Amino acid sequence: MNTKMEIKPDLKTDIGGIVLKNPVMTASGTFGYAMEFKEFVNLNRLGGIIVKGLSLEPSMGNKPPRIVKLPAEC
C-alpha cells in the first residue's frame, strides 16, 4: 500500500494583532490595486498586499518634479 503523507505547515503570521494566512506580501507601492496582476498571481494565495500610502483624508502629496535624472557617472 502506497501511503503518501502530506505535511502542510501553518504559516499564519501575526503582525500587530492582524493575522495573515502566510507571510508572503507584495512590496510597498509596487502592486497598484492588485487587480492588474490577477492574471499572473493568484491573489488569494497572498498573505497581504502592502500599499504605498493610505489616508482617510485627501492629501496633495509632493509637488512635481519628484524624479530627477542624474548623469551616469553619479
Residue 1: its pLDDT value, please?
Answer: 58
Considering the chain, what percentage of its residues have pLDDT values greater than 90? 35
Grid cell locating 5: 503523507
Residue 51 CB: number of other CB atoms within 10 A? 13
pTM (2 d.p.):
0.58
Grid cell locating 6: 502530506
* Cis upstream peptide for 9 (omega within 30°): no
Grid cell locating 47: 498573505
Residue 31 CB: number of other CB atoms within 10 A? 19
Residue range 33-42: average pLDDT?
87
Query: pLDDT tens for residues 43-73?
Result: 999 999 887 777 788 888 788 887 888 888 7
What are the boundaries of each domain within the chain? 13-45
Q: Report angle CA 67, 69, 74 to the nearest 5 degrees.
A: 125
- pLDDT at residue 33 above 80? no
